[in-house]
Amino acid sequence: MRFTAVFAALPPAALASISPANPLKRLARVLGYAGLRLVGNVFRPVHNPNNLHGAVWLYVVSANNYDALEFIQKARPDAVLVAGQAKNIGRYNATVNRLSLRRKLLYYWQFPYAFFALAQTEGGRAWRFFDFIFYAIGYYEVYRRALRRHRPRAVVFSNDHNDDTRSLLLACRAEGIPTAYVQHASVSANFPPLGFDLSLLEGQDALDKYRLCGPVQGRVELVGMPKADAYLARRNTAPAVRRVGIACNIHDPLPALTAALVYLVAKLPELTFTLRPHPSDGRNFEPLRQLLPTLEWSSARIENVFDFLLRQDALVAADTSTHLEATLLNVASVYFRFGTNPLTDDYYGYVAKGLVERADNPSELAEKLRAYARHKPADLYRRAAYYNATLGTPDEGRSQPRTVALLNEWLESPHQQP
């Protein structure tokens, strides 16, 4: 994914937060990683609250992953949540178990070989993203060692495309450890091929997209959206829109976002607007707060996305899976692009598949919201059936027990026994 045209064409502000355009700044970040993470890990021993030996590992790389897999840990006494030694898991940093990365430093002699090999296949992008290559070195080797030491019964993933996640998946294959995948957010056709022994996907949309990524390996089951179970019975029944949420992330340029909000607040004074930046969006929003004092705010680090949506009648956003979550709750959702990158237009295909409507300029967006302010249909949520396999079935709202039952069956099957 890091060497695709889509990634290379991301807005400079989005890339700057993870890989600076200036090579000296990239080098400084790499040196900081080497000093704080690689050398720092050597002097930071790991003390885990749970026994990892023979357990079912639930591997997480973010707080969202933790939230997506925690219900499995509660359902199985042998399941433990694990992450890399210094991985930032947000509010769960103190509770997640850690896999030692102290030996990762020993494998950096491989970096020149990896860099020059990728330079031959990827050209200039290997230089542009040499920092990503540097970060990835050593994960595979230290994770193979951890697997040999602890021999987990299986490893369950909720992310399938980060460097450490891919390394652990390859390490599991090499060590003969069974792997499972529980989808936690919408996927795109730019993801790696699906390669787990068991994949529990939310719906047909995910399976169709993974088929575009390459050959699908292992067993696949469609289970719906486990994280939405507790909220589906609380769908929005308001007949008209009065409250509008705006979801943004680092891919949405701040000037365009500001201009759209100024226009909407002026044109639709009867509506209440709430802005919700992505939890990883560290930009300075204080000027926007001062410019639009009536604008309300939602902190993604404090308020769950479903709790945020329960307070809204409509949602406006660009490329985010929040569109799907909004539609499931019968919140009217409109796709509106704040950026201009043509390679990410309708990135998840929500417009093409009829999940949400589209507005191409602020005036059109205001008209759509005005129409919803007159009348909001009560059956918008039915559009999400292609994305959530349990919608409208007896299993609606029961994706968590369905997921646990399938995992239990898979783990207890004879071919999974140690």
The residue-averaged pLDDT of 197-203 equals: 97
Cα–Cα distance measured from residue 238 to residue 312, given in angstroms and rounded to the nearest whole number: 10
Residue 391 lies in a domain: no
Residue 98 lies in a domain: yes
Two tokens at 55? 């357990």
Same domain, 83 and 151: yes
User: Predicted confidence band at 416 (pLDDT cuts at 50, 70, 90)?
Assistant: low
pLDDT of 418 over the 50 cut: no
Pairs from 374-380 (Cβ < 8 Å, separation ≥ 24):
374/240, 375/239, 375/240, 376/236, 376/238, 376/239, 376/240, 376/241, 376/313, 376/314, 376/332, 377/332, 378/237, 378/239, 378/330, 379/330, 380/327, 380/330, 380/331, 380/332, 380/333
The residue-averaged pLDDT of 202-225 equals: 96
Per-position b or e across 277-292, b if 16+ CB within 10 A of its CB: bbbebeeebeebeeeb
Residues in the chain: 418
Range(s) of the domain holding residue 272: 231-386
% of residues, the chain, pLDDT over 70: 99
Same domain, 67 and 120: yes
Same domain, 198 and 270: no
Q: What is the DSSP letter of 97?
A: E
Same domain, 49 and 132: yes
The residue-averaged pLDDT of 229-254 equals: 95
Same domain, 188 and 214: yes
Residue 393 lies in a domain: no
Same domain, 43 and 141: yes
Same domain, 408 and 357: no
Residue 392 lies in a domain: no
* Residue 250 exposed, middle or buried by CB count within 10 Å (0-12, 13-18, 19+): buried
Residue 326 lies in a domain: yes
For residue 397, the SS3 value is coil
pLDDT of 47 reads 87
User: Predicted confidence band at 17 (pLDDT cuts at 50, 70, 90)?
Assistant: confident
Give the strand order in the sheet containing 272-277: 296-297, 272-277, 243-248, 314-317, 332-336, 357-359
% of residues, the chain, pLDDT over 90: 79
Residue 34 lies in a domain: yes
pLDDT of 2 reads 82
Structural domain total, the chain:
2
SS3 content of the chain, % helix, strand, coil (to 5): 45, 15, 40
Same domain, 130 and 42: yes
Q: DSSP states of 175-233 as a string?
A: HT--EEEE--S---TTSPPP--SEEEESSHHHHHHHHHHSPPPSEEEE---GGGGGGGG
Higher pLDDT, 341 or 92: 92
pLDDT in tens, 320-333: 999 999 999 999 99
The residue-averaged pLDDT of 177-184 equals: 96
Cα–Cα distance measured from residue 137 to residue 61, given in angstroms and rounded to the nearest whole number: 17
Residue 97 lies in a domain: yes
The residue-averaged pLDDT of 312-322 equals: 96
Two tokens at 243? 């409250």
Same domain, 265 and 348: yes
Residue 310 lies in a domain: yes
| CATH number assigned to the domain comprising residue 20 | 3.40.50.2000
The residues pairing with 248 across neighbouring beta strands, listed in sequence order, are 277
Same domain, 273 and 307: yes
pLDDT of 414 reads 67
The residue-averaged pLDDT of 204-216 equals: 95
Same domain, 355 and 372: yes
How confident is the prediction for the chain on average, in pLDDT?
93
pLDDT in tens, 331-388: 999 999 998 778 789 999 999 999 999 999 999 999 999 999 999 999 999 999 999 9
Lowest average pLDDT, out of 207-211, 214-218, 299-303, goes to 299-303
User: End-to-end distance of the chain based on CA atoms, in angstroms?
Assistant: 34
Same domain, 367 and 408: no
**Short-list 346, 338, 340, 336, CA closest to 368:** 336
